[in-house]
Structure formats: C-alpha cells, structure tokens
Structure 1
C-alpha cells in the first residue's frame, strides 16, 4: 500500500513540477516584441553663408574683392573695411566705394584713371597695365600703406599684391588729391582729368579716403 501510495504521490507530484516551467515559457512567448529602434536622421550639412550684397557695388566685383580679403588677410591690418574701385563706368560716375563690411555702409566718390588707360580721353578706362612708364591704371588687390608728402601733397602709398599690380611701388602708384578729380570738372568738362596711373580723388575728398582706409586696409580695383 505504501509503495502504491508513494507511486501515486510521485505521479501526482511530477505533473505539478512540469507545469510551472511550461507556464514560464508560455508567459515569455506571450510578450510583445520590443518596438524597432528608429534610425537616427542623417545630419544636415551646414549651408554656406550667403554672399553679402551691398547696394551700388557690382556683385561679381564685390565677391572678388572679398575673396582677396580672405586670401590676403594675413598681410592686412584692417579687415573690417575695404575700398573697391569699379572702372567699368565713365569717370563722371562715382567709381570708388568705401565700404564698412560690418554694417554694409557705403560711401561713393569720384576717382580718376591713368592717361595710358584712356589715351583718347574718352572718360572710359580702355585698358590696364602694370608696365613701368605706361602711365596706366593697374588692377588687382592693394594694401593701403604709409602716408607721405610729395608733389601732390599728402599721399598714401599702395603695395600691389597681384601679378597685375606688382610694380605699383616702383611706379609710385598712390592715392592723392588732384584738382582734375574735383566735382567741378564734371560741370565744366563732363568728365574728370587723368592721372599718371594713380588713384586721384577730389582734393576735398582725400581726408575721407584716408580716414576710411588707415594703414593696412585692402583696396581692390578692376572692372566689374
């Protein structure tokens, strides 16, 4: 009887022991799978800052001048201002732009070009030249250098930074005031006179140019 009872008890016990693991497996299988992890969005590449625009200045010429400012920056003392001369219009137009880069303020003045750039005195610059003795205007990036007093009074030397104006110092290409670049030339002759290649401005405007450039700013001259 005991043996039979033991067998019976064992038979009753075993199914109970096996039921618990089956319940555990069943409960795990009934769980919902975890939601898939959403992929991280690809980083959006930074967009380049739009090129600044300044009213009254040719955009292609402004872009070239700012590129020169970046390229020649280690040679400049002043990077918050530049001067751009657009020799595309005639000399009766205000072609010299004094630009404050920080706030976009611009001041435009008359400026003469060289005799060798306009032999027929048409008022339009016909050609640039870097050659000694050409009496022509040269193009490219310049550093506004030191001041001195010469045959045209107070003047400012220019250092040419490009192959197109590398002889500027040897040729004494400078900024100076001149009677033939005064505004009254327009009412009398309809155009300015011509320099020997220098950037000649009106005698009463010279101080404004000097105050803007100081020593070490960029002047960029070309056709827009």
Structure 2
C-alpha cells in the first residue's frame, strides 16, 4: 500500500482538527450559555474553598474560541510568511462570516483578500480556500491611478475618481469587455464602494501587472480603480472566484468602517457550524 505524502498527511490532519473543532466548540459554548447552572456551581465552589470563584461568561468563552479557531486557520494557510498580517486576515474573515450569515455568498468557501497597505511591487492578493485551508492564488494586483504611485494612499467611491474603493465586495457574473474577460464586483459597504458597478470597477487582466513592468518602472501600472490582475492568471482567478464569493480590499484609511465588521455576528456564525 502506497504511503501518503507529507502534504496529504498534513491535509488529513488539518481536516480532522477542523472536524473536531466544529463538533466540540458549539457544545462547549452551549454549556456556558446555560447560565442558570453557573450560579449553583460558583456558589458550591465558593462554599468549599471559602473564595468566591467567578466563571467566565459565555460571551468571553465564545470570543476565546473564535480567536483560537481563526488563529489556527491563519497558521494552516501559512499566509504570514507571504505578508498577509493577522489583523487584515481577521477583518477579512469577520466580514466573510457576516456576509455568509446574511446569505449573500455562494457555497464556494472562497475568500479573496487584497491588502493595499503593501506596495504594488509585492504580491498583495490572496485567494483563500477556507474549507481546504489552502492558498489558491497569491499574486500581484494593481490599484487605481489616482490612489497613488507605488503605494495606494487615497480611496474613493466617486464616479470618475480613478481611485480604488475599500471594503467588502460580493463577486457577480463575468462578461467580456474592452479588457477581455472581466468580473463584475458588487460593493456592499455604503459610502465606500457601493458605486463599483456603475463605475465599472471590475477584475480584469492587464499587461501592466507583471514582474517585467516592475523591473522597468519600479512599480506596477495603475488602473481606473479596478483591481487589475496579471494576464497569465486573470482567467483562472475569474473562474475560481466568480458568482458569489467575498472580496475584501484593505487599505490605510482611518475613516473606513463597515457594518460587516460585527464580531458578535461572526462569532455566532462560526460557532453555529455554518462556515
């Protein structure tokens, strides 16, 4: 019998741990939700030891479980070595779980993260398979012409701004336009990216998104606000993430806020086993 490879063993171990976590965490959380039991137990322990013992609240326990499970996934994906910080990953996952709770996503279990805190010379787009715990794509992506040179520092939701727009998107259908195969993006963060469809902010391939362009000009070329992709990968990425997956575009803007960054909703979605 052929021995499983190291990669296969790792995948089996990850899947087994996730399965166990999904079964155990909701059960443990449910125990702490049974608050009528907490008072007698606490009273009994205090009587026995003479010291008042306060049990952690159900909400505190849920927060611990939520943080642990996301840290485990972050570690399994090995994206820290690729430059994706946990802070950005946490925001992206929180929004993904909120959108899933609202029924806005398909069942693909894919999350695309673009981090415009990084320069255009670095690979700053990730497509994550959350079910398998794998990075499907990690590549270059361009920002809008008026968002900045090598670094994207300005963002806008306005028509003809030629800037990138921050926030959460849900991918729509593809079409063939002036850039060839392109993917429509529906912005769902009011005031930040909800004009994406009318602005024709889409995923498409571009010759100016390449290592060769970087070598020649010291940065990527820039779009009119679209997250433009390398020509040798854009079709595969469109195939993978189209029709109902989550895209999170992160950037350095202290004014950005989103109703989808509700951690309580994210925790309940994760612990209920819906993800």
TM-score by length of 1: 0.76
Separation of aligned partners in 2, 1:214 and 1:156: 7
Tell me whether 1:221 sits opposite 2:238 in the alignment. no
Tell me whether 1:185 sits opposite 2:213 in the alignment. yes
Q: Give the aligned partner of residue 86 of structure 1.
A: 115
Displacement after TM superposition at 1:43 (Å): 8.2
Q: Give the aligned partner of residue 204 of structure 1.
A: 232
SS in 1 for 2:161: coil
Displacement after TM superposition at 1:96 (Å): 0.6
Q: Give the aligned partner of residue 7 of structure 2.
A: none
SS in 1 for 2:199: coil
Displacement after TM superposition at 1:78 (Å): 3.5
SS in 2 for 1:48: helix
Q: List per-residue Cα deviations over 1:77-108 (Å, max 9, x = no partner).
A: 14511100000111010011111112321231
Structure 1, unpaired ranges of 5+: 1-37
Q: List per-residue Cα deviations over 1:8-59 (Å, max 9, x = no partner).
A: xxxxxxxxxxxxxxxxxxxxxxxxxxxxxx9977988555231232423211
Displacement after TM superposition at 1:211 (Å): 2.9
Separation of aligned partners in 2, 1:149 and 1:138: 22
Tell me whether 1:155 sits opposite 2:159 in the alignment. no
User: Contact 1:69–1:79 (CA<8 Å) still a contact in 2?
Assistant: no
TM-score by length of 2: 0.62
Separation of aligned partners in 2, 1:79 and 1:70: 13
Tell me whether 1:60 sits opposite 2:87 in the alignment. yes
SS in 1 for 2:196: coil
Q: List per-residue Cα deviations over 1:134-158 (Å, max 9, x = no partner).
A: 0000000001101100000110000
Separation of aligned partners in 2, 1:161 and 1:151: 25
User: Contact 1:61–1:223 (CA<8 Å) still a contact in 2?
Assistant: no
Separation of aligned partners in 1, 2:85 and 2:107: 22
Query: What's the Cα RMSD here?
Result: 2.1
Q: Give the aligned partner of residue 22 of structure 2.
A: none
Displacement after TM superposition at 1:223 (Å): 2.3
Tell me whether 1:112 sits opposite 2:142 in the alignment. yes
| Greater Rg over alpha carbons, structure | 1
Structure 2, unpaired ranges of 5+: 1-40, 46-53, 253-275
Q: 1:80 to 1:210 in 2, by over 3 A?
A: same
How many residue pairs end up in the alignment? Answer: 184
